[in-house]
Amino acid sequence: MENMKTALPAEGAAKPAQTARKTYDITPRSRLLLAGTLALCLLLVNALGWPWGMGNTVTVFAWYLLLLPAVGREALFRRRESQVLLGVNLALAATFALTSNPLFRVWNFLALLLLAPLHAASLPAGDLLPWWRPAMLWERLGLLCRGAFCHLGAAPAALTAGQEKKSVSLPLVLGSAAALALVSVLLPILASADALFAAATRGLTEWIRLHFAQGLWKLLWATVLTPFVFGLLYCLRHVPVRAGAHTLYTVDDILFGVVLGALDALYLLFLAVQSAGLFGGPEYLAQKGISYAEWARSGFFQMVGVTILNLAATLTALTFSQQKGRGWRAVRALSTALLGESLVLLASAAWRMTLYVSAYGLSFKRFMTCWGMVMMALFLLAALGKVRKPDSSFCRRAFPLALAGWLVINCVPVDYLVAKNQVDRYLAAEALGGTPSISAGYLLCSLSYDTALQLARLDGSLTFFDPCTGREEPLRDMLRRRRAQAREDCSDWRSWNLSACLISSVD
């Protein structure tokens, strides 16, 4: 009895630490979901390793087909935010199968890298910050990181669920996979070590090298990615999120009043000087030693940048002011004046861009600049709405405007319109006996396949500098090479797109 008493720990002594094992809520559907996750990762590794095209479209659609059973139909369609982001992401994914502009593909890929995770992080049933609060970006990024890196045990738990009884299925699958991997690695090594063995197994070694080795690496990468993706899906369904309190710090209105007043005075002086050029015409500019074309093409990019700065200054003042007394009324009045001046500056830049396009023609960069100025004007009008109703959210208007504007520009055949404008100007100048010029090499090598349809209207014997080869070549040879590239893209489902298909069928 005394020995038993001495073996007991003294009162108040620390108890031995016990390791708590994380448990996962695994259902019979979890293993099917795990298999679907592995298939998605295989598709991801296989599709994104090829030039962009339909493979990107199929991968995004497959992600949502997996997300639907993972989180449930109710979670996917519960909020209006989720419904809108679902439609936007699927539309952006479809552009990879429809168009071939390299810049739009990069921008849409980056947009999907942002919007698809944000959409997934908005699906849990917890108290999330509303989508129009900029702080929601940080909150949802944290949720994604926790889901991907803090639930890596969910995949092994789903894989071993129901294995309390002896079963040979799982060890058989794992053992077969390990045996295939080792054979594919060791067979080429043994063949290189013995010439007789190499001659006997030449056919098998060649088949493994051509077909099995690359697939094995893809399977390996997909297996590595699967626990992260499955852990994220598990987190989205089982872990609610609670948003923390948000504290807004304010600053004395006098500070913002002084800054806004100085900006208003500066832009008023700038507009007074610039109006002389707008209304004085070429004669007034000639007196100042400035050509009308030089004045027209200068400054519109700077004006767009200045407009963005003014918008940021106005929103900062409206958000962090104390919103009381005469100082607050002055801030609202000065903000209205600054936004009005910004609209005038933007209109001036748009007018000068119009003059420049009429003189030198349309290009992809000029087209996108015009679209950017239209979007900036809409954002300025949204900011004016916040000045009128300070309690309203600017982001609640700006985010839908940005998404809608980006979807609209993706639906516009920008490259086709640019090429048509350039070809029309070339043919018109040629008919008048002038010296026409066109950047055929830029249109063919830097933009989408849509430009080839317009350039085919020109004489094929004309020679242009080809940036792809670095030398002068006849237009017919450049078009032939472009069609060959389109046929190559259409030869594999991963890089197929409608734009390439249309031009590849034209001789």
**Residue 195 pLDDT greater than 90, yes or no:** no
What pLDDT does residue 4 have? 45
Alpha carbon distance 317, 137 (integer Å): 22
Distances (CA, A) of 330 to 251, 261, 337, 383: 14, 9, 11, 16
Long-range contacts of 347-354, Cβ-Cβ distance < 8 Å, separation of 24 or more: 348/271, 348/274, 348/278, 348/303, 349/299, 349/300, 349/303, 349/304, 349/373, 350/300, 351/278, 352/295, 352/296, 352/297, 352/298, 352/299, 352/300, 353/300
**Per residue in 399-421, pLDDT tens?**
999 999 999 999 999 999 999 99
**Residue 233 pLDDT greater than 50, yes or no:** yes
**Per residue in 442-484, pLDDT tens?**
898 889 999 998 999 998 888 888 887 888 889 999 999 999 9
User: Average pLDDT for residues 335-346, to the nearest whole number?
Assistant: 90
How does residue 7 score in pLDDT terms, banded at 50, 70 and 90?
very low
Alpha carbon distance 108, 114 (integer Å): 10
Domain boundaries, the chain: 23-161+171-246, 253-409, 415-504
What pLDDT does residue 94 have? 95
What pLDDT does residue 166 have? 47
Calculate the CA 313 to chain-centre distance.
27
What pLDDT does residue 322 have? 80
Calculate the CA 4 to chain-centre distance.
68
Which range is least confidently modeled, 33-42, 194-203, 333-342? 194-203
**Residue 336 pLDDT greater than 90, yes or no:** yes
Alpha carbon distance 474, 486 (integer Å): 19
What pLDDT does residue 276 have? 60
Of 292 and 199, the structure prediction assigns the larger pLDDT to 199
Which range is least confidently modeled, 152-166, 168-182, 307-321? 168-182
How does residue 116 score in pLDDT terms, banded at 50, 70 and 90?
very high
What pLDDT does residue 297 have? 57
**Per residue in 67-80, pLDDT tens?**
998 888 888 888 88
User: Average pLDDT for residues 385-412, to the nearest whole number?
Assistant: 92
Q: Which of 452, 460, 458, 459 is nearest to 505 (CA)?
A: 452
CA angle 371, 502, 447 (to 5 degrees): 40
Alpha carbon distance 484, 496 (integer Å): 13
What pLDDT does residue 78 have? 83
Alpha carbon distance 56, 105 (integer Å): 10
**Per residue in 257-315, pLDDT tens?**
888 899 889 888 888 776 665 555 556 555 556 655 555 555 566 777 788 888 888 98
What pLDDT does residue 242 have? 54
What pLDDT does residue 283 have? 60
What pLDDT does residue 286 have? 57
How does residue 1 score in pLDDT terms, banded at 50, 70 and 90?
very low
Paired residues of 463 in beta bridges: 474
Of 420 and 322, the structure prediction assigns the larger pLDDT to 420
Q: What is the mean pLDDT of the chain?
A: 81
**Residue 178 pLDDT greater than 70, yes or no:** no
Of 177 and 378, the structure prediction assigns the larger pLDDT to 378
Residues of the chain with pLDDT > 90, as a percent, come to 28
